[in-house]
Amino acid sequence: MAEGRMSGAEWLAQAFASAGTTHIFFVESVLRRTLLAAEDLGIRLVLAHSEKAAAYMADGYARLARRPGIAMAQSVGAANLAAGLQDPYLGRSPVMAITGMKPHDFQDRNSYQEIAHAPPFAAVTKFSSTVEKAGELPRLVGLAWNAALAAPARPVHLDFVGHQGQVVEHGEVAAPPAVAALSRRLPPHRPLADERDIERAAARLLGARRVVIVAGDEAAVSEAGPELLSLAEALKAPVASTLGAFGLVPTRHPLWAGVAGSYSAPPANRIVCGADLVLFVGCDTGDQVTLDWMVPPLHTPVVQIESDPLEIGRSYPNATGVQGDPKATLARLVGAIGKPERDPSFAEEAARLVADWRAAMRPLSESAETPIRVERLCAEISRALPENGVLVADTGYSGIWTGTMIDLNGKGQTYLRAAGSLGWSFPAALGAACAAPERKVLCFTGDGGFYYHLAELETARRCKIPAAIVVNNNSGFGQNVTGVHRAAGNRPGRGEELIRFGPTDFTAVARSFGVRGIRVEEPAAIAPALAEALAAEETVVVDVVTALEPRAPEPWLPGRQTS
């Protein structure tokens, strides 16, 4: 190697190390020289058992580390890795996927196991490029890193020539590995909104009597919780959120209304629909948080604070837009609002709705029934989660149960949720534990989700990753019970094969992988099991036997008379 030059493998390993990368998630065989060089620099290598699991680990890592999580796969695994990027794409997470591709003279010649990589990655990345030679690494890695972090944060993809990326690895790089872009974390920039837009938004908010704030995923990325709460208190405005922003403010705060939309407990949607103006903060106004654009109704006046101007007015036409970083913009808006005299009656009404619902749920949260009620399990998790704990929840009922029945302190605790991929939470929890080894990570998943990536129990043991994995084990797809029964004409027994499986003792499964398991069949045993799992310096599976039939809280619909 010429003086002052290094191989592509050495350059990449040093660049990632200089960026603060602590873990790389991969499936063999890809970039072997890079990985070995990275290990020599102190980066831990996490060999996963599937490319999707590697992507989910990188996602959980990225969300907590607030820098790109790295996931790698060779050419034949590229499509599998792309499939794993759907969740970080929807969840606004900066994952960097690196794949190998066969050289150009192998393309379009029926090369073994080779397909075009661009199509599967197109839908799940905001930037994708081929790296043909080592000399392109400084420019393309820096560009990809910038793209991954820029609002909205999303996955990026680099396709290295060589089915294991070896062509790029073996080449030479003259530039030093200290790329300025790689020092950046989320959010990389905090653009300030135009002062006139701030003034217009303040005027609209002060002119409305019943204001509700709905915080979204970008507000969580921006870490805008304190500013959000300051504005809410100034306006006497209840605060709701997307599931992705759950926990941004304390769930026991008098102004907390709950998660809004289709994954909502009844009070939140009633409160949002009771507003005469809604302030969306970093919220994409998609169908989930608005319950198909019924919460609030489409004619509702709204103010939108967004880093991405394309989101302003996307769904709600009567929108006053403010483009800027949510945290920085809210801080300026709080200054513009000042300390006005506000009628507290709407906030008090909202607080009563929430309090009444909590009171109605209390008997279930304290229930001694067996099989164990999930409400009781959630109450025990609320008590057990440390002050700086991380709660990682799967999609579907796991998201609904945690978002409606678990309390978070809005300060040191963090909530990470699946953006739609069942089975995401277990690998993501392992990635989160890698990103923050000083914090306790608790994963909440159903048995249907846990089945997806059971093999990663071996990864957790081998890599000594500590995490408490709580399995809501009801031997079926609980969220789908009502729909299947309805489709089956509510005939007893019909359709059960569509939703039921097991029963499985996941403690026995865990032990077969060399992982500790705790079986919980009585409510009184939940608390000691959680305490043991959270105190351990290893992965522990807490297998909680629950019933399939109890329904998670259902959202309130406009026109539906429910409490």
Q: What are the tens digits of pLDDT across the range 53-81?
A: 999 999 999 999 999 999 999 999 999 99
For the chain, give the mean pLDDT.
95
E-state strands within 410-495: 414-417, 441-446, 468-473
- The answer to whether residue 216 scores a pLDDT higher than 70 is yes
Calculate the dihedral angle through the C-alpha atoms of 383, 387, 388, 391, rounding to the nearest 10 degrees: 20
Sign, CA dihedral 237-241-247-252, equals positive
d(CA 437, CA 539): 12
Residue 240: beta bridge partners? 214, 258
d(CA 224, CA 249): 9
- The type of residue at 253 is H
For residues 522-538, average pLDDT: 98
Q: Which of 552, 551, 554, 548 lies closest to 503, judged by CA?
A: 548
pLDDT in tens, 296-323: 999 999 999 999 999 999 999 999 999 9
pLDDT in tens, 247-300: 999 999 999 999 999 999 999 999 999 999 999 999 999 999 999 999 999 999
At residue 9, the pLDDT reads 98
d(CA 209, CA 273): 14
Q: pLDDT confidence of 3, banded at 50, 70, 90?
A: low
Sign, CA dihedral 40-177-70-403, equals positive
CB 446 within 8 A of CB 476: no
Residue 320: beta bridge partners? 303
At residue 514, the pLDDT reads 98
- The answer to whether residue 486 scores a pLDDT higher than 70 is yes
Region of poorest pLDDT, from 178-182, 186-190, 243-247, 440-444: 178-182
At residue 560, the pLDDT reads 65
Please state whether beta strands 6-7 and 172-173 pair in parallel, antiparallel, or not at all (unpaired).
antiparallel
Domains (range + CATH), the chain: 6-183 (3.40.50.970), 195-351 (3.40.50.1220), 366-545 (3.40.50.970)
For residues 491-515, average pLDDT: 92
At residue 481, the pLDDT reads 82
Pull the structure tokens for residue 397. Answer: 């009922």
Q: Which of 198, 234, 228 lies closest to 347, judged by CA?
A: 234
Sign, CA dihedral 434-437-439-445, equals positive
- The answer to whether residue 48 scores a pLDDT higher than 90 is yes
> Within a 10 A sphere around the Cβ of 343, how many other Cβ atoms?
10
pLDDT in tens, 417-471: 999 899 999 999 999 999 999 999 999 999 999 999 999 999 999 999 999 999 9
User: How is residue 476 annotated by DSSP?
Assistant: B
Q: What are the DSSP calls for 326-386, one per residue?
A: HHHHHHHHHHHH-S-----HHHHHHHHHHHHHHHHHHHHHT---SSBPHHHHHHHHHHHS-
